[in-house]
Structure 1
């Protein structure tokens, strides 16, 4: 096996440290996609085990046992049963939480009985010790019959030993466990033997699963019929066999725990985690702390991002000014300066805020607090037709609605899942952040209350809370309209509190910045260049008339000041008569009641491709109109005036526009994902309709209030 790349499936229970280990093994060498046929994240990464062996690590969704219930658990199950057409792992790296060993050993024992090469990574050893748990690792290794390696991915401890064990297993120096964890064949002796005749090479335990779940495997019709006949002939009862199996496994696990694990007295004093939960999950203080946490999150976006944003914005203005002085006045230099560079600057200036937002969200997840938010919110969510599981997609919607909507598959109740999908886009995603930032900077003064409460931060938090409140109101209305009756249950395992994995935070920040720049950036640049063309050119007759008019006026001008003023007026009038100006003027009557001019109207239209395009659109429109290339976009927007000389971006207009972006469905990718998840166009069209109407009416109300 020397010199080849091996596929390793990374499996384990939820919250067992699997993600930490994946990041420790792969670093930045990661790819995220979807498993074929399902909207479940597929994370793969490259890892060098030694000089001769490279590994592709496939991070499978977390699952508690080999009896799947949700879509993501079925993905892991099919891979483990070797019936997935695309993913064929040669080895399994199983992550087990040492502080919850009894529960983790159930899944571990099932994987071992499939008779695949397995290496067990034992995580949370420090947490186990803090609980007073001592584990005899060599004894546990003997009982399981596979390598067991204690690791601490957060501190990079045990990773080299783990790689060595994986390499030895890859070179077949470590054998597959020869003995079954339990006597699987005795669960249904004749039926198991019959399956093994039909499918040679199956382990006894894999044969049991073929009897239970063969309908979900890609088998030929005659094979399906033969296995079904075996069930009938041998009176195989799947439920009884599964119950018997689990009972036997826990009996054996109990024996192993007694021999190899020292556990503390169950009456010991409360752990640190439980004490913190008494505070964080308190019926009053829990919500106060939650609001304070969210406030600090949005304050930090302004506190930490101001200097890098100013640096990036100033650098682009300087570069544009320098190039404008050096390049000839031809069409391609205009495209470079006012199309490409203006659009690129509109992308990169918001990278610091995107990184900070995702970094802080990752810290909340790593520490275990994010799960507490779900628990706290369950009671409120149920009143509006959702449940606690809806919180995670909605919180994920703060980053991006697309994966958030896909993660709603974890909600078993169909009605609650549908309502979650329909309201999640109301949560303000990271694409809205550039819009909020630039408008808040224009309209809201940098005022501080009590020396530390930023008015701009409070407005930002208010926008996010507006999206949440509207989501709850809409869900309550839809709960009454959508007629589905199905009981739901909310079961959530609360992870222990941990220190954040700073390496993981850094990796996430870099990855999200790359996604924003490469994915959103491509769209913004394409639209910026297209807008440059539409803004620079128009019907020949109209543009010729404008040129003739100002040529005459220039001849009459006597001072440099008059000539510069006429040059600015020429740029403005050419923009108004361009193709973009004609489109903007056509839609202006519809948006005028909201306080918007025709340029904002163009931005609203282009934003339906992606919300963050708003900034690129403004950058292009004002760059085409503005003759001074040293002026930043914020300054251009601040100086923008209407025909009557009044400011465009007043407090009323800015707030109205921010509210519109909070509530409108301006993301075609999200519409496509909703169509795929709901299997039709009915609900996506309803969603686009209600969100557009809600955005228009609410923006009108806010405009009138602040006018």
Structure 2
């Protein structure tokens, strides 16, 4: 076979399907959306033979073709839509070899659609260690398909799978698994007469799913509905009858093809470990200890690379100041671009450490346990157990976390989860927290082990979690819905982390942080430098004339004169005018007009706060004394009172503000996209800003 072959990967969650997709495609993959919906679509290309390239489509993980969410509906839509651009020539069904009874249900459904199929038995190493002896040849003969044992984590069996794909035919060879016609014979025959279907099972699926298929016209959907009423078709009864028949087939199949080594029986290592790690008391304590270790590490291990990066930027600024001619462009480059960018890049080590731990927890299977443990807490505040996944994902970034709420079928649970997820402290808040903590919390250790700075950072993250839980409890009283939510998940076995996979994830996250945040920060820094450097000409001219007088020359030495001139020009600039305008509203929170400017600019993205402060203090600073952003803010004082700007009360007030405030345009945009309404983004913006203002007001007034 020459040319390009479309291959769809389908399987249950936690079968290693995505790992197999990565093995097949390597870095030759891209992420987009399925046509007409906001469900993520992963596609990639794999050279399966010298003459043939396969386009691999990674379908969302599902347990059955009977969809409970939009993600799950996509799977049948792709398999059914004959005119669709993603219609596969071949389907690779990925199953967990150690749990065939549950996984084979989906295989039997896909096989009965009469599409060419290959069965990939992934995690074959786990099956072997559990004492399961699978007769591959007998299984293949009984099913009528090629069966390939695979260990995707170790890239074993992948080449054989590529060979099977390369030599596959476009004609379905699999045996029927059940007699579908017995479920609704008259209805199936009449649908088959009116529609172009490949099999009786496809006709039955149309009866079940016609209302959700975008590829069907309204007239076609109405026709199916009419036929259902004509033959008194009950979807739920038909599904139950079909499922029983399929499990009877699976039981007989596994009895013939799979044998259990009795000597290998016994409680698995994962089950033994779960008795401790998912214990209702000890499990939560262990989770908090793990979080503490993470945040201790962020401060302890990141300090050296952060100092190195700070030093590099200081040397770069000094070098540019020495070799470039004095003027507007040099000031723009040093005080605008370099200062703004250095204020963010210095926090890359902390971001990397955070994502290192998150990746390890996910790859070992522990994060799934956290989701399981938190389910009971979620239900007490009126959320679905599936809400835990977006909330935990929100620690990294609220945007993909909100997108992951699509798996929540209950509308009320989904909306509440969307509204509270941004309260979880994301990685964009990390630079703000660590900067402010380093200014006011001493670098001391309790009992010689516990870092005060690490404990403070842990407290900020826990505050975000409890705020989200509290907000959800309030919203469940306000948002009304009669739907009932449920939570089904499978706990994967514990595995050693794949360091290459973790390294790739860290690289991708760091790259996204640097390039996505960096673009915004550079743009904001340049605009801010212009607004901070220029102002109404009459005011600027008056200030220049004031400091050019002999009286000022006698009163201050040249360095002091330059410092006062820059400070007064900054206050009179357009940025200063903007800051002064909002200062009366933020003064009760302990903020001056310079912090006010940072609050406004960081609405683009929270981490812009650091770059903004770096730019403002660079514009105001002394050219002969280039220091890091942390040193600039630590030394900043109020010109009227001489008191430090960033006091203990002000710094904590700011951290509380950023913990609660909706300071992210991307999050608002994705909420609009997911809810298809401006109502919910506006509600989110108003309630989070209100909570942030009141909470930071209380904190400042109590601590000052």
Alignment of 1:386 with 2:383, yes or no, is yes
Name the stretch that deviates more: 569-578 or 372-381. 372-381
Does 2:327 correspond to 1:335?
no
* Match in the other structure for 2:181: 185
Q: 1:416 aligns with which of 400, 410, 413?
A: 413
After superposition, residues 203-242 of structure 1 pair within 5 angstroms as: 203-217=199-213, 218-242=215-239
SS at the partner of 2:428?
A: helix
- Following the alignment from structure 1 to structure 2, what is the Cα–Cα distance between the partners of residues 427 and 195? 49
Q: Deviations over 1:542-580 (max 9, x none)?
A: 11111111222598359xx81112112212111111110
Q: Shift of the alpha carbon at 1:460?
A: 0.5
Within the alignment, does 1:662 sit opposite 2:659 as a pair?
A: yes
DSSP 3-state at the match of 1:276: helix
Residue 452 to residue 38, structure 1, CA distance change in 2 (3 Å): farther
Could you say which residue in structure 2 is the equivalent of 1:128? 127
Cα displacement (A) at 1:237: 4.1
Cα shift at 1:267: 11
Q: Which stretch of structure 1 is more off in the superposition, 217-226 or 16-25?
A: 217-226
* Within-5 A mapping of 1:90-105: 90-105=89-104
- After TM superposition, the score normalised by the length of structure 2 is 0.94
Match runs of 1:203-602 below 5 Å: 203-217=199-213, 218-264=215-261, 268-553=265-550, 556-557=553-554, 562-602=557-597
Counterparts of 1:37 and 1:151, CA distance in 2: 34
- Indicate the residue corresponding to 2:682 in structure 1: 685
The residue number in structure 1 matching 2:166 is 167
Secondary structure in 1 aligned to 2:77?
helix
After superposition, the Cα gap between the structure-2 partners of 1:38 and 1:154, relative to the gap in structure 1 and judged at 3 Å, is same
What's the counterpart of residue 53 of structure 2?
A: 54
Q: Give the deviation of 1:92 after TM superposition.
A: 1.8
Q: Any conservation in 2 of the 1:28–1:507 contact (CA below 8 Å)?
A: no
Q: Mark the CA change 1:200 to 1:486 in structure 2 (over 3 Å): closer, same or farther.
A: closer
Structure 1 position 603 matched with structure 2 position 598: yes
Q: 1:444 to 1:48 in 2, by over 3 A?
A: farther
Post-superposition Cα deviations, 1:641-680, rounded to whole Å, max 9, x if no partner, equal 1112221112221111111100111112222222333343
Q: Which runs of 5+ in 1 are unaligned?
A: none
SS state of the match for residue 549, structure 2? helix
Q: 1:330 to 1:370 in 2, by over 3 A?
A: same
Structure 1 residue 190 displacement after superposition: 4.2
Q: 1:635 aligns with which of 631, 638, 657?
A: 631
Cα separation, partners in 2 of 1:620 and 1:284, compared to 1, 3 Å:
same
Equivalent residue number for residue 607 of structure 2: 612
**Secondary structure of residue in 2 paired with 1:96:** strand
Separation of aligned partners in 1, 2:514 and 2:88: 33
Give the CA deviation at 1:359.
Answer: 2.4
Q: 1:221/1:408 Cα in 2 relative to 1: closer, same or farther (>3 Å)?
A: closer
| Alpha-carbon separation, structure 1, partners of 2:282 and 2:473 | 26
TM-score scaled to structure 1, two decimals? Answer: 0.94
- The answer to whether the Cα contact below 8 Å between 1:344 and 1:521 also exists between their aligned partners in 2 is yes
> Distance in 1 between the 2:196 and 2:679 partners?
47
677-686 vs 104-113, which moves further: 677-686
Alpha-carbon deviations, 1:513-547, whole Å to 9, x = none? 22222222221111111101101111101111111
1:621 aligns with 2:616: yes
Q: Is 1:114 aligned to residue 113 of structure 2?
A: yes
Separation in 2, partners of 1:199, 1:182 = 22
- How far off its partner does 1:175 sit? 5.3
Q: Are 2:605 and 2:664, in contact at CA under 8 Å, matched by a contact in 1? A: yes
In structure 2, distance between residues paired with 1:415 and 1:193: 39
- The 8 Å contact of residues 665 and 692 in structure 1, kept in 2 or not, is answered as yes
Q: In 2, distance between residues paired with 1:628 and 1:612?
A: 27
Cα deviation, residue 265, structure 1: 5.3
Task: Calculate the aligned-residue CA RMSD, in Å.
Answer: 2.3
Structure 1 position 398, deviation (Å): 0.6
Q: 1:488: how far off?
A: 3.1
In 1, are the aligned partners of 2:117 and 2:174 still within 8 Å (CA)?
A: no
The 1:350/1:42 distance shift into structure 2, 3 A limit, reads farther
- Is structure 2 residue 149 aligned with structure 1 residue 150? yes
Shift of 1:331: 1.6
SS in 2 for 1:642: coil
Q: In 1, Cα distance between the equivalents of 2:225 and 2:415?
A: 35
Partners of 2:336 and 2:5 lie apart in 1 by 46
Distance 1:33 1:200, change over 3 A: closer
State the match for 1:25 in structure 2.
24
Secondary structure of 2:91's match?
Answer: strand
CA–CA distance in structure 2, aligned partners of residues 21 and 629 of structure 1: 55
Q: CA deviation at 1:233?
A: 4.8
Q: Is the counterpart of residue 43 in structure 1 residue 39 in structure 2?
A: no
Instruction: Give the number of equivalent residue pairs.
Output: 701
SS of structure 1 residue aligned to 2:56: strand
Q: Which runs of 5+ in 2 are unaligned?
A: none
* Structure-2 change in CA distance of 1:556 and 1:284 (3 Å): closer
Per-residue CA distance 1:472-503 (angstroms, 9 max, x = gap): 22222222233334433333322222222222
Preserved CA contact (<8 Å) 2:657 2:695: yes
Q: CA 1:347 to 1:29, structure 2 compared with 1: closer, same or farther past 3 Å?
A: farther
Once the 2 structures are TM-superposed, how far is the Cα of residue 183 of structure 1 from its aligned partner? 2.7
Question: Contact conserved, 1:534 with 1:579, CA < 8 A, in 2?
Answer: yes
User: What is the alpha-carbon distance in structure 1 between the residues aligned to residue 320 and residue 668 of structure 2?
Assistant: 40
